[in-house]
Chain A
Amino acid sequence: MPLYLNDEQQMLRDTARDFIAEHAPVAHLRKLRDDDNPDGLSRDLWKSFADMGFTGILMSEQDGGLGLGHVEAGIVLEEIGRNLSPSPFLTTAVAAVEALKGSPHAARHFPGILSGTTIAALAIDEGPKHREHVALKAERSGNGFKLNGRKRFVQHGHIADLIIVAARTAGAAHEQDGITLFAVDPTMPGIQQDSQRLADSSIATSATFENLHLDADAVIGEIDAGHDPLNRLLRAARTGAAAESLGVGAGAMDMTIGYLKERKQFGQTIGSFQALQHRAAHLYSEMEVARAAVIKAAQLLDSGSEKADDAVSVAKAMTTLATTLAVQEGIQMHGGIGMTDEYDIGFYMKRARVLAEMFGDANFHADKLARAAGY
């Protein structure tokens, strides 16, 4: 498969680009923030994503979805990134859908996701850095389980209709075996969520689970074999976060190149200074390489290749490196105006930093690749 978008994918990109730029440009995020919107996002926008069919991209046609793949999900996420649109798309339509696919939970939750009424959150991380450790305890109790422990960085947790929780039913924190994945209704007693606004004005919670009783049918997949749906979820989420990050970097870069062509100092446009041209050209190169990594990872996921895991880590690490550069150069090359809240470039830097931490930063994925390569 060639590493570029085919005709249908380009059409989807054009549709997503126009739609998101019109309905959720950076001004949309700015307004939500200025209004101190308690949801941190617009439910109307989420519904309109559903109307566009975006929420069903990764669902099969039997499930009512579009039966498309990670390349297509990535296309939408890139535009979300480019416009910094607050959306539960990544956690819900990508990560949760991948985890629930093929389980009885699909029938329960997919209709709500399809119609843009359900928002899903992921309770996976337990410390301030993403690791592949799961310690939160799920002990057998009656004909179900009792959960105790704490999760961090649960994005959209405060407004979620569904939380996917990774818990430990056997073994030690670092082991793959013994993880069980649960689909949890966040309104149940036994869950306490503490909402925090993050640097990018999105909201994530710390979720405390205290003797939360779950029936056995809350299990996603098999008991003790939750690493299977969890890995599916993580691969999709990492690839999706990489695509969104790519969009953030591309948006910041375009804005910066635009500014270089417009701002005048010393009687000339600053973009004619070679010192800035070289930095812009270097940034372009990093972004192009990151773009290749994103489409490669998505294609390998879609084809079910065994090389997908490595490619996913490359994509997440590479986009993090490139986009971090894009937002840093972005502010620097804007000069003073880049530091003002009134100007948009700062929003890009904030979102880039949140995405960097999501599902493993560049160091995490470089380390993962190194271990897979035996060093």
Chain B
Amino acid sequence: MTDLDQFRTETRAWLAANCPLEMREPIRSEKDAVWGGRDQSNLTPAQKSWMDAMAAKGWTVPDWPKAYGGGGLSPAETKILREEMAAIRARNPLNSFGISMLGPALLKYGTEEQKLDHLTKIAKGENRWCQGYSEPNAGSDLAALATSAEDKGDHYLVNGQKVWTSYADKADWIFCLVRTDKTSKQGGISFVLFDMASEGVSTKPILLISGYSPFCETFMDNVKVPKENLVHEENKGWDVAKYLLGHEREMISGMGLASTGGNPLIDGAIATIGLDHDGRLADPLLRASIAMFEVRSKAFGMMSERFIDELKAGRAHPAQPSMMKYYGTELNKSRYELMMAAGGSDALEWESDASSGGATPRAWLRTKANSIEGGTSEVQLNIIAKRILELPSA
């Protein structure tokens, strides 16, 4: 038996023993996902035990170094762990912007102190992070951001406003882009971290078309940010910001992947529409649309696997996350359009118990943001055109 075979055997046994059965059920709504943070009062015992067991092995972030709370696994071992988790339909033990966005950026740009402090807490699910990038006048043109950070010797004084800050009202800390130099657009941006409990920070939820308020306006009024919370050098925050965006796009592209447990689109269509005497979905045009969607969906699953393999081997084009983000999010929007068509009037119910409080229509509306958040589809296409295809600028 090779080392990898042995690792697979041991991993399989460990998962079987440690993954609670409730954590092998498909994710049905927002509250099924575990985000961690200082306030863990809303976690179920199964969620808590699954997160803690995985964190103890470093497997919430399997490929991070052990010194920072990771599992220290090789790419091949990480892939095996993911495969074995998928095989028992294990849920992700911990979702977090700390894992998918800030972590990679700190691993690359953080000081040793920053890594030891923040990464370890992220790995254990102790701190929940939010992302302070967008501002009212800096969306796609992110580098136009105006939130200012004035140098006060041992700290910066931060003033300004962020918008669309996902979970700002639930987060413990924020990674935030601020302007430290007004004379240079991209070269005047710095990347700072601060505690959301700091004096002068306030948030105001924004109601979305889905009826939820997952994100906020975030206001900074004379917020003191200690200098040790600067990541990378002053005025070099744009490098960190872009590197992090690559990881954010990777994460968002994952939304285009079919869920591991069953296929809600197909199951739902069969349940509402039924099969004809040949065992085919009784609505032939919808069946054709779903079948063609499934071709792309399955192929994109293969693309995701290929992308991760190439990334780990250092073979992926640095702008490839833009392609993944573009394709995955557009795909996810089509999936939900089909789910709505398959559900018919059942999928219109907004509040009923039968519809779990309108889970499908709310999720459908939520997917419309996939091609906006983390950089719009149009922005991704611009990046692919310029950086991968090397097409000229106007």
Contacts and interface: CB of A to CB of B under 8 A. Distances in A.
Interface of A: 2-4, 257, 260-261, 268-269, 271-274, 276-278, 280-282, 284-286, 288-293, 295-296, 310-311, 313-315, 317-318, 321, 362-363, 365-367, 369-371, 373-375
A322 B272 CA distance: 32
15 contacts: A272-B391, A281-B380, A284-B323, A284-B388, A285-B326, A288-B327, A289-B300, A289-B302, A292-B302, A318-B296, A318-B299, A321-B296, A370-B291, A371-B279, A373-B294
Interface string B275-303: 10001110000011011101110111011
B225 to A, nearest CB: 38
Interface in B301-334: 302-303, 305-307, 309-310, 312-313, 315, 320, 323, 326-327
B299 A369 contact: no
A156 to B, nearest CB: 29
Nearest to B79: A2
B96 to A, nearest CB: 27
Contacts of B32: none
A292 B303 contact: yes
A310 B382 contact: no
A375 B280 contact: yes
Contacts, number: 149
Interface residues of B, number: 47
A280 B384 CA distance: 9
B281 A375 contact: yes
A59 to B, nearest CB: 28
A365 B312 CA distance: 32
A276 B381 CA distance: 10
Contacts of B306: 3-4, 291-292, 295-296
Contacts of A284: 323, 384, 388-389
Contacts of B312: 2
Nearest to B263: A373
A99 B388 CA distance: 41
Contact of A367 (B291, B299, B313): B291
Q: Is the interface of B mostly helix, strand, loop or mixed?
A: helix
Contact of B384 (A269, A281, A292): A281
Given A260-B391, A311-B302, A314-B298, A289 B315 contact: no
Contact of B280 (A2, A260, A366, A370): A370
B33 interface: no
A260 B394 CA distance: 12
A3 B269 CA distance: 32
Contacts of B305: 3, 292, 296
Contact of B327 (A4, A271, A289): A289
Contact of B292 (A278, A362, A374): A362
A374 B266 CA distance: 9
Given A280-B391, A281-B381, A293 B299 contact: yes
B46 interface: no
A310 B291 CA distance: 12
A367 B392 CA distance: 41
Contacts of A273: 394
A184 B309 CA distance: 44
B393 interface: yes
A369 B295 contact: yes
A317 B300 CA distance: 13
A4 B315 contact: yes
4 smallest beta-carbon distances between A and B, as pairs: A277-B385, A281-B384, A3-B306, A2-B309
B280 A314 contact: no
